[in-house]
Amino acid sequence: MSIKQSFTKWIHDAQDRICKAFEEADGGKFREDVWEREGGGGGRSRVIENGGVFEKGGVNVSTVHGELPELIRKRFGVSQGWFYACGISLVMHPHSPMVPTMHANFRFFELYEREDGDPVDAWFGGGADLTPYYLFEEDARHFHQVYKTVCDRFHPELYPQFKTACDRYFHNAHRGEARGVGGIFFDYLRAGDEQNLAFWHDMATACGDAFLSSYLPIVERRRDEPWGDEERYFQELRRGRYVEFNLIHDRGTLFGLKTGGRIESILMSLPPRVRWDYNVAPKPGSREAELVDVLRSPRDWV
């Protein structure tokens, strides 16, 4: 089985496992939407709304192929070419402000000079990050420790590199603050002198397989924490910052929008209820201010 075939099978299997685990935790059901892409390929979107734990969540897979869109040709400096791309993307937005939002994405890309030719380039990308609305340090430590443990299985330098890249990427530069408490992020992981493509395949899928153990224990710890209108208000303000990042900075969202991607799948990541009140700042010394302080000065959690 080729790397492409193996990873394509993994994303579909992972979608099944993740959705089943979330349905057990939530009590609700995902609805499935199978779609086709004009030009080649398609995907399977699964969305849960107004469940017992999650206000909105989605676990999407896609396998698309065809002639390179003009935007990609310009980026790669080629006049023509063909591609294959597959990946899994998931975002979970809880009802409770005490339960953090979670995002993850793992993807593979192959590039060809001819439609039926051998690949001339290939790479993996992905990552996972946590966006709390109220800070529980043990949750942030748990989340980072899970991914550090996975990365350390492959090389001790990977987690520090991926953690730094995540802090840099998931950053609202116009606000001067991170989107959340970070996690891991990697892109353009190609075969090289030290690691072949199979190494990165195994690393990426291991990180993907760690998704449930990184997040569900946090959900179980916080789902019954008390909260009220004040906490909900702050959650919706912070969700506004989440939307700002996705629509202003996120490369995947912008790429999908500019290349004619499926809008419902692209914007699945946005929360259902947000707000942008004018010039709101948390009270000094409050739990809300504690979170914002951390977002302005990312920490090393493990």
pLDDT tens for residues 56-76?
A: 999 999 999 988 888 777 777
Q: Show the low-confidence residues of the chain (pLDDT under 50).
A: none
Q: With H, G, I as helix, E, B as strand and everything else as coil, classify residue 296.
A: helix
**Secondary-structure breakdown of the chain: helix, strand, coil percentages, each rounded to the nearest 5:** 45, 25, 30
pLDDT score, position 283? 95
Q: Which of 93, 95, 103, 144 is catalytic?
A: 103
pLDDT score, position 239? 98
Rg value, the chain, Cα: 19
Residue type, 269: S
Domains of the chain: 3-296 (3.40.1500.10)
Determine contact, residues 186/105, Cβ cutoff 8 Å. no
pLDDT score, position 277? 97
Could you tell me if residue 194 is left (phi over 0), alpha (psi between -120 and 50 degrees) or otherwise beta? alpha
Q: Considering only CA atoms, which of 75, 65, 9 is closest in space to residue 41?
A: 65
Tokens in use for 213? Answer: 């153990």
| Whole-number Å distance between alpha carbons of 129 and 214 | 10
| Whole-number Å distance between alpha carbons of 248 and 100 | 22
DSSP 77: T
pLDDT score, position 62? 94
pLDDT score, position 299? 93
- Chain centroid to Cα 277, Å, comes to 27
b or e along 151-164 (b: 16 or more beta carbons within 10 Å of the residue's beta carbon)?
Answer: beebeeebbeebbe
pLDDT score, position 194? 82
63 vs 3, 51, 154, 250, 263, CA distance in Å? 14, 28, 27, 20, 16
Tokens in use for 96? Answer: 């409770």
pLDDT score, position 68? 84
155 part of the active site: no
pLDDT score, position 260? 72
pLDDT score, position 217? 98
